[in-house]
A and B are shown apart, each in its own frame.
Chain A
Amino acid sequence: MAITILPPVVEDLGPYQADSDSDDSMSDISDSDVDMDSASRPQKRARTVSKKLGDGVVIPGQVVTDDPQWMRGHGTYINPLSTSIIATVAGNVEKTNKLLSVRPLRARYNPEIGDLVVGRIVEVQSKRWKVDIAAPLLAQLPLSAINLPGGILRRRTSTDELQIRTFFSEGDLVIAEVQSVHQDGSASLHTRSLEYGKLRNGVFLAVTGTGGSKAGSSSKGGSKSSSAVPGAIPGIGGVVRSRRQRWSLIAENGGGEIDVVLGVNGYIFISKHVDNAAAMTNTDSVSHNRMEELVSSTIYSSQNDEIPMQTRREIARLSQSIQVLVQHGVRVDEDTVTKAYRASLQVDIEMGDDDEEEDEGREYLEGSKARQIIEIVLHGK
């Protein structure tokens, strides 16, 4: 069947809180709602919150605490002449020593120094590029912050400025590191490492990167959503900062080695693994300097290598697996991606036993397949 048409899904939000562990706080709040005694109400709510401080969900305008011992952090404000800290975003209350901040449930990416990001060049200026990294402001990549061809420590010349488009031009994808964050929140990137530079040989994928939500928050069970997968909360998935943002894995079905780059900003690139350095060092005669030169001359090429069909297939499967994770609100990191990928293979084999004739679009993961994958990823079934 070429087309699948589903009835509309009614998002049933009713039982979301009912069986969660925050039952008592719910009853407290509803008590205070019933209780129309205006004098006692603010106090009561404040007390409620401060009692539950740290693991509650607050909404904008809600008093987080009126205890003056706390310091105001991100996502909160203090009215003048008062000591109560009020939330400005909806999210989880977080405490760092005496600093109180509210971390939004779903945030846009805010660059921090040292982040590994994937970005797309949107504008070329005379001495720098403007890069889209899914942050509120475009990041900048100065010409002086890239590896210029012909030696890693060469000074930038006016010739380089003239041929700035030969390094990166509009639309190119780069992998870079956040070097500094300016006052206004915009980032400055650098690619001064052989690890960084232009991306090719693969596919790009943008997921709602949060860079914010703590790894633990999404895997905690207890919610019921329309996807009916326990443990998955819609809207909380995404890439988080983790130990390894970039790794390669050996694909099944003869796919060879595949590189995955999870940009902290939610931009993901999946490509065939190309071992530049290994290829170079095979020939012992080339000196170290020469190697640098060779690497940097290929680093700005837009030319793809020969990519076998099997690898392409597995790359597509991998990107689908990540999509599934994101759609079901599971955080994306090395562990979950690998699990989801293995799970999709496993599900496929099971499906293949069920019906043989359904050979078309086997790689398309949706509906029941996606649910099974999530089950396996979260619970190891």
Chain B
Amino acid sequence: MNDRRRVNGPAEGTRRPVFACHVDTASAPTRPQRQREPKAFRKIALETGLTRSASGSSYIEVQPSPPPASYNSLIPHSSSLKLACSVHGPKPLPRSAAFSPNLVLTTHVKYATFATRKRRAHVRDASERDLGVHLETALRGAIIADRWPKSGIDVTVTILEAEDDRWWADAPDSHDASWGMMNVLAGCITAASAALADAHIDCLDLVTGGMAALVSDDENPDAPPKLVLDVDPSEHRSIVAACVVGYMPGRDEITQLWLKGDSSNAVLEDGDKRTVHEALIDGAVTAAKSVHAVLAEVVRESILAAGQ
């Protein structure tokens, strides 16, 4: 009983094509390898004010990992996160709504139907609602809501291209947790924060999303998993645990935390007194801090551009 008014066709109607080169073992594609350092990030393109009709908007794109040396398949080897965010408001609440002394924040996160390798449905599904709730939590802590009484604001994120949950050629069961979603959430938080700044909503600080994960090594699966920042799930055979934070660097505060996975077997480097999940959170915070540098620069540039 998803939507009472319409009968929706099956969401999963399509199947990806199989190309001849897959079957040919010699040229079968190999899993992309992470070429960056564990603490290095992919490049981010972030821009604000692209949607003129909205009171604030932003677009974020993460550079895809470079393809393996001899890659000749038609299928894109890895996906890159692309999402657009628009902010509408503050606008008066509808007459039917109850009085609120604060700004009422609503968030919508929607995957475009073509955003993933497998086509997605038009109707918002559980994971999209889930992302919406997480995003709302992250932003609520940063917005100074009592500056805008009796008004509402809508934050809408459209995911144009989502991060893969696994390498495309893997059996669909090999990573079954949706790790890509965590990257998407981190992107959503950063983009929404940029759009809020563009819409001139009072915020305590620019909240940014950061992601870190514990991955087990491809070469020797028995070695303890290690901490890697800004993980592209398609580059790793298995992700043990991952963590996303919404973080405000100016106040050193976390507004949103999502940590999942089983981190009990992980061992940190010698001399590290932290527990594994603390290390994960710290890793995600480090990632968020470096994203913040980009975000702050973009917001500053947009002001300068507007001043000219």
Binding partners A and B: yes
Complex alpha-carbon distance, A276 and B70, angstroms: 85
Give residues 85-108 of B contacting A (CB, 8 Å).
98-99, 101
Report B99 CB to chain A, min CB distance, Å: 6
Query: Chain A: how many interface residues by the 8 Å CB criterion?
Result: 4
Query: Chain B: how many interface residues by the 8 Å CB criterion?
Result: 3
Contact indicator per residue, chain B 63-101, by CB within 8 Å of chain A (1) or not (0) = 000000000000000000000000000000000001101
Chain B binding surface, main DSSP class: loop
Complex alpha-carbon distance, A124 and B150, angstroms: 13
Across-interface contacts of A170 in B (CB, < 8 A): 98-99
Complex alpha-carbon distance, A170 and B100, angstroms: 9
Complex alpha-carbon distance, A170 and B99, angstroms: 8
Across-interface contacts of A124 in B (CB, < 8 A): 99
Across-interface contacts of B101 in A (CB, < 8 A): 169
Give residues 139-187 of A contacting B (CB, 8 Å).
169-170
Report B100 CB to chain A, min CB distance, Å: 9
Residue in chain B with minimal CB distance to A122: B98
Across-interface contacts of A169 in B (CB, < 8 A): 101
Give residues 161-219 of A contacting B (CB, 8 Å).
169-170
Residue in chain A with minimal CB distance to B100: A170
Residue in chain B with minimal CB distance to A170: B99
Give residues 101-141 of A contacting B (CB, 8 Å).
123-124
Give residues 158-173 of B contacting A (CB, 8 Å).
none
Report A230 CB to chain B, min CB distance, Å: 48
Complex alpha-carbon distance, A169 and B101, angstroms: 10
Complex alpha-carbon distance, A124 and B98, angstroms: 10
Across-interface contacts of A123 in B (CB, < 8 A): 98-99
Across-interface contacts of B99 in A (CB, < 8 A): 123-124, 170
Report A379 CB to chain B, min CB distance, Å: 49
Residue in chain B with minimal CB distance to A169: B101
Report B300 CB to chain A, min CB distance, Å: 39
Report B194 CB to chain A, min CB distance, Å: 34
Complex alpha-carbon distance, A123 and B101, angstroms: 13
Contact indicator per residue, chain B 99-141, by CB within 8 Å of chain A (1) or not (0) = 1010000000000000000000000000000000000000000
Report A130 CB to chain B, min CB distance, Å: 12
Complex alpha-carbon distance, A123 and B99, angstroms: 8
Across-interface contacts of B98 in A (CB, < 8 A): 123, 170
Report B85 CB to chain A, min CB distance, Å: 32
Report B93 CB to chain A, min CB distance, Å: 14
Complex alpha-carbon distance, A335 and B101, angstroms: 41
Contact indicator per residue, chain B 177-210, by CB within 8 Å of chain A (1) or not (0) = 0000000000000000000000000000000000
Report A168 CB to chain B, min CB distance, Å: 12
Complex alpha-carbon distance, A316 and B98, angstroms: 32
Complex alpha-carbon distance, A124 and B173, angstroms: 55
Complex alpha-carbon distance, A123 and B97, angstroms: 12
Complex alpha-carbon distance, A123 and B98, angstroms: 8
Complex alpha-carbon distance, A170 and B101, angstroms: 10
Complex alpha-carbon distance, A170 and B98, angstroms: 10
Complex alpha-carbon distance, A169 and B150, angstroms: 13
Report A103 CB to chain B, min CB distance, Å: 37
Report A170 CB to chain B, min CB distance, Å: 6
Complex alpha-carbon distance, A123 and B100, angstroms: 11
Complex alpha-carbon distance, A169 and B99, angstroms: 10
Residue in chain A with minimal CB distance to B101: A169
Report B269 CB to chain A, min CB distance, Å: 34
Complex alpha-carbon distance, A170 and B150, angstroms: 13
Report A29 CB to chain B, min CB distance, Å: 48
Report A298 CB to chain B, min CB distance, Å: 21
Complex alpha-carbon distance, A73 and B192, angstroms: 64
Complex alpha-carbon distance, A352 and B260, angstroms: 44
Complex alpha-carbon distance, A169 and B98, angstroms: 12
Complex alpha-carbon distance, A309 and B283, angstroms: 40
Report A171 CB to chain B, min CB distance, Å: 10
Complex alpha-carbon distance, A379 and B266, angstroms: 62
Complex alpha-carbon distance, A340 and B255, angstroms: 44
Complex alpha-carbon distance, A124 and B149, angstroms: 15
Report A184 CB to chain B, min CB distance, Å: 24
Complex alpha-carbon distance, A22 and B110, angstroms: 67
Report B146 CB to chain A, min CB distance, Å: 13
Complex alpha-carbon distance, A124 and B99, angstroms: 8
Complex alpha-carbon distance, A61 and B218, angstroms: 77
Complex alpha-carbon distance, A169 and B127, angstroms: 38
Report B76 CB to chain A, min CB distance, Å: 51
Complex alpha-carbon distance, A34 and B101, angstroms: 66
Complex alpha-carbon distance, A211 and B55, angstroms: 54
Report A122 CB to chain B, min CB distance, Å: 9
Report A131 CB to chain B, min CB distance, Å: 15
Complex alpha-carbon distance, A164 and B98, angstroms: 16
Contact indicator per residue, chain B 1-34, by CB within 8 Å of chain A (1) or not (0) = 0000000000000000000000000000000000
Report A348 CB to chain B, min CB distance, Å: 39
Complex alpha-carbon distance, A210 and B243, angstroms: 51
Give 6 pairs: A residue, B residue, CB < 8 Å, sorted on A: A123-B98, A123-B99, A124-B99, A169-B101, A170-B98, A170-B99
Q: What residues of chain A have their CB less than 8 Å away from a CB belonging to chain B?
A: 123-124, 169-170
Q: What residues of chain B have their CB less than 8 Å away from a CB belonging to chain A?
A: 98-99, 101
Q: What are the 6 A-B residue pairs with the smallest beta carbon separation, nearest first?
A: A170-B99, A124-B99, A169-B101, A170-B98, A123-B99, A123-B98
